[in-house]
């Protein structure tokens, strides 16, 4: 037998675990144990000194987590949480930050990891609950132009080759549908859009390739181009041409123009929209769009050719109006 070592049998270990299970020690006892360990390791080598931590299997980690949860290790009292928070603030007054090496390790550990739907929902609920009483980390924060460019590049790389489903697009539209922007928000949007369109290369690219209509592969009519030119002249840039709107039966409408947040603009050719049954079809369509909280403006070909400036003024007046 090695001097100073008392080998315990498995039976003894199990018995000791049962005795100590759920046992709560006093602060004095914990302090005494802590001091004893410090004194002991002044003259003795720690068994883990110089050794790398043992890598546990996923099964071992799962078992250990279940055991701790059964013991109530994760159900800390408010007092314990407050104490832990105070200790963290004391040790890291400027906030805790991982080193770049640690960040890389964490990133590699989570690469390819897929959470279950129940786990995702749990994370969403926890995040919503947290932000009920806390501000977001970027609330009120102004990013530099360099930081904005980095975020933009990262987002572009993430969404490269990806497309939102029709269901997701409809959800995104519904979020902004009927939303009334404040005058301050409208001003910010105008300034931002104006800055984008002041870029000569951007304007040439948009008009030379007809990018407004390329994505939907629909050739614009002459009156649609006139309305578009007037809107751009008015400084209205948040326009989506050939806007697809899902119908209740699974089919969809294609509106000539959509202007955020809820304005539909239709440029009707005199020949096509004066045929038999077309006016009734247009009215049915307008009734459905109005029931979905859209505001619909229709302009005939004759009106567009004779009163284009007045049409621009009318559209400008209706932008931002909330329908009921």
Specify which residues 268 forms β-bridges with: 300
Sheet of 263-268: strand order equals 239-246, 252-259, 263-268, 295-300
Q: Which tokens sit at 312?
A: 């621009």
Give ∠ CA 171-249-288 in degrees, rounded to 5: 75
CB contact at 8 A, 309 and 230: yes
208 band by pLDDT with thresholds 50, 70 and 90: low
Which residue reads 């902004």 in tokens? 176
**Residue from 303, 217, 295 nearest 257 by CA:** 295
CB contact at 8 A, 267 and 189: no
What is the rounded CA–CA span in Å between residue 173 and residue 264?
13
Least confident of 4-18, 115-129, 290-304: 4-18
What is the rounded CA–CA span in Å between residue 173 and residue 205?
26
CB contact at 8 A, 56 and 64: yes
Q: Which residue has the higher pLDDT, 172 or 6?
A: 172
**Residue from 161, 144, 177, 171 nearest 258 by CA:** 177
3-state SS class at 28: helix
Q: What is the pLDDT of residue 265?
A: 92
Q: What is the pLDDT of residue 324?
A: 37
Mean pLDDT of the 24-50 span: 82
74 band by pLDDT with thresholds 50, 70 and 90: low
Q: What is the pLDDT of residue 209?
A: 45
Least confident of 66-75, 219-228, 294-303, 307-316: 66-75
What is the rounded CA–CA span in Å between residue 268 and residue 126?
50
Percent of the chain residues past pLDDT 70, beyond the cut: 85
3-state SS class at 118: helix
Q: Does the pLDDT value for residue 268 go beyond 80?
A: yes
CB contact at 8 A, 186 and 320: yes
Go through the chain and tell me how many residues it has: 324
What is the rounded CA–CA span in Å between residue 234 and residue 257?
15
Compute the CA torsion angle 94, 100, 106, 112 (nearest 10 deg). 130
Q: Does the pLDDT value for residue 298 go beyond 90?
A: yes
Mean pLDDT of the 203-218 span: 54
Over the chain, what is the mean pLDDT? 79
5 band by pLDDT with thresholds 50, 70 and 90: low
Q: Does the pLDDT value for residue 30 go beyond 80?
A: yes
User: Cβ contacts of residue 147 below 8 Å, gap of 6+?
Assistant: none
Q: What is the pLDDT of residue 203?
A: 63
Distance of CA 248 to CAs 159, 245, 257, 287, 291, Å?
29, 10, 20, 13, 11
Question: Tens of pLDDT along 165-191?
Answer: 888 888 887 777 777 778 888 788 878
Count Cβ atoms within 10 A of the Cβ of residue 206 and give its class: 0-12 exposed, 13-18 middle, 19 or more buried: middle
Q: What is the pLDDT of residue 99?
A: 82
Q: Which domains does the chain have, with CATH numbers?
A: 166-318 (3.40.960.10)
Helix extents (H) in 159-264? 166-176, 183-197, 200-208, 211-214, 222-233
Mean pLDDT of the 308-323 span: 78
Specify which residues 263 forms β-bridges with: 259, 295
Mean pLDDT of the 152-157 span: 78
Mean pLDDT of the 101-121 span: 85
Mean pLDDT of the 8-16 span: 85
Q: Which tokens sit at 241?
A: 């041409």
How far out from the chain centre does Cα 109 lie?
Answer: 22
| Range of 220-224, 247-251, 310-314 with top mean pLDDT | 310-314
């Amino acid at each position: 037998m090695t001097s100073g070592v008392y080998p315990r049998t498995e039976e003894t270990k199990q018995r000791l675990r049962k005795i100590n299970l759920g046992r709560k020690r006093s602060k004095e006892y914990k302090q005494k144990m802590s001091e004893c360990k410090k004194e002991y390791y002044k003259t003795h080598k720690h068994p883990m000194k110089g050794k790398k931590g043992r890598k546990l299997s996923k099964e071992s980690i799962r078992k250990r987590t279940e055991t701790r949860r059964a013991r109530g290790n994760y159900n800390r009292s408010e007092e314990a949480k407050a104490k832990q928070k105070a200790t963290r603030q004391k040790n890291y007054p400027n906030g805790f930050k991982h080193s770049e090496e640690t960040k890389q390790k964490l990133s590699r550990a989570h690469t390819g990891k897929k959470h279950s739907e129940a786990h995702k929902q749990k994370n969403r609920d926890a995040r919503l609950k947290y932000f009920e009483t806390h501000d977001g980390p970027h609330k009120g924060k102004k990013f530099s132009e360099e930081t904005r460019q980095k975020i933009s590049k990262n987002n572009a790389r993430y969404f490269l080759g990806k497309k939102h489903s029709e269901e997701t697009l409809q959800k995104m539209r519904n979020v902004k549908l009927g939303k009334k922007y404040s005058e301050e928000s409208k001003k910010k949007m105008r300034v931002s859009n104006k800055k984008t369109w002041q870029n000569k290369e951007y304007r040439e690219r948009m008009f030379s390739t007809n990018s407004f209509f390329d994505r939907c592969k629909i050739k614009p009519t002459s009156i649609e181009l006139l309305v578009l030119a007037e809107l751009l002249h008015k400084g209205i840039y948040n326009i989506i041409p050939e806007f697809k709107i899902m119908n209740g039966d699974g089919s969809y409408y294609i509106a000539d123009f959509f202007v955020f947040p809820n304005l539909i603009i239709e440029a009707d050719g005199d020949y096509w929209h004066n045929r038999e049954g077309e006016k009734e079809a247009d009215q049915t369509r307008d009734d459905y769009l109005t029931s979905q909280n859209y505001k619909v403006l229709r302009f005939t070909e004759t009106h567009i050719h004779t009163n284009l400036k007045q049409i621009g003024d009318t559209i400008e007046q209706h932008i931002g109006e909330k329908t009921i």
